[in-house]
Structure 1
């Protein structure tokens, strides 16, 4: 019995000596009236009340507290009240954290900056934030990926000393100051959206896809961010993040979620056709309903495929094909320019646009027969042929007109 008591006494005596022998790091109290507590919580009794400038020997980190020694006694002090050299913080974090970032010694080694963070968040981005604060000499406690009070207090301290808004949130300005860059932004703080609050202020871009870059991708990212689908920095590069944002938008609006910003996606996002949108050219079979598509008296536009001249015409009549007249003298002048400066029976490929639809056709420029529009400098009308239409005299399909129609099928408005 006596031997047992003696053994217990020896062990009891050794415990304080063991604590003294532990690796410790000297910390300095940064404020007055700090409780040196017996346990790592704010509800327990305390050994003493410490004042600013007092030195403590820190062993480890336990939650929001340092396990430390003061005047021969071992207890706990809240981490926010103790300043430690950054080298000591790095060594402490290695012994208490299982995070892959705990051994990183520079901000650059942490990789890309985290996204915006706030109290209650958790995960790898929080670990990055905590380790970055440690590297900069601020103590958020152990690097555990949990944005708690210690992390918030450390962040506020960093913000105050760097003349930032001390809101305890890892916002744009804070992350930029701490990491030197940001990986995520909001529509409010992304520099690429300065002064832009509506998609209507953006220039409608071309269609784009993964691997593209430049101003068209920038406009796409700007619109997606305004819609809340793109949280990353607007960088004008169509990578995985942009493709992911496009696919999310497409899925939300019932489009094929392929991550490609095609014509339908641009139209849905911007409310307008893409800048590179072309109306598809269609074939109009004249005797299979085509004769009624453009009614008599209707106005339509014509684009000469060879010259690019565009002019407005009006359907006068025509049964086997469409008989048309230039709507005005400007249209007549355009037809004459397209024909090389003189009227001609030569067939030419043209595109006819009516009600937003483009049809492949062929025409000659020779005025002949009756006219109904005065003052248009065109004495008569001219012929427009579509697929399988015929001449009036022969009642046959004109091969030269059909050749021109086929050429027009390969052209875009």
Structure 2
């Protein structure tokens, strides 16, 4: 009988120890453990929120379960960031997601838009402002849709940017809805790299969510190569000048896809992003591009 009681006590202690470990793992913060498909916990919920803020997790609940929706979001994020598409959140994938936590501290809630909601009503409900909600969600207009998930910032924490005219910066902060009309299909423009001052000519050849562009000549390609050294997906702050209008923008420096200009020594096209433009693959905002746009406008 004593042996049975001893066995029961050992079993109970083992179960308590296992439960303690499980709860500790579930309470872990993002960055403290490798996350992969099938896992659960608070850090998985933080991962979902970080992906949601970046536009990679819009159609699913933040439930702390690493299921198909979270996996798809991680893989799309890795693909857009030119990382190995493993679906595992560790290493460089984690490094690029964790900095977003500082921004997440400004977000007090998420809201699933229902019939009758407006930005003004939501600002009153959550004690924030319309402009703060727009800025937190990368919105260029006040239209919202039923089923849309909005990040709700604390009052006064996030403000819509005001273009700076200090120093030698003179680029206008122009939304993609306007920029795609100013820099229309097949238009020519002068791209100037903010950091180096090197300028080259381009033509817009495609793109509905951002401007797919090509250097105009081999000389222009050489100048672009001078900026990057080696072709890279790295985002760079640039200005784009079309017919005397100079706009803040961002570019990557990696030839990809098709290219219609055959004698420019550039095998494909590259992407130019403006305020509120989105990636073609996931139709989401790219935070690195959006930050570079703000740098080009003198806001950072």
Query: Considering the TM-score relative to the shorter chain, is it more than 0.5?
Result: no
TM (norm. structure 1) is 0.31
Which of these two proteins has the greater Rg computed from alpha carbons? 1
Normalised to the residue count of structure 2, the TM-score between the two structures is 0.43
Q: Which has the higher contact order (CA 8 A, sep 6+)?
A: 2
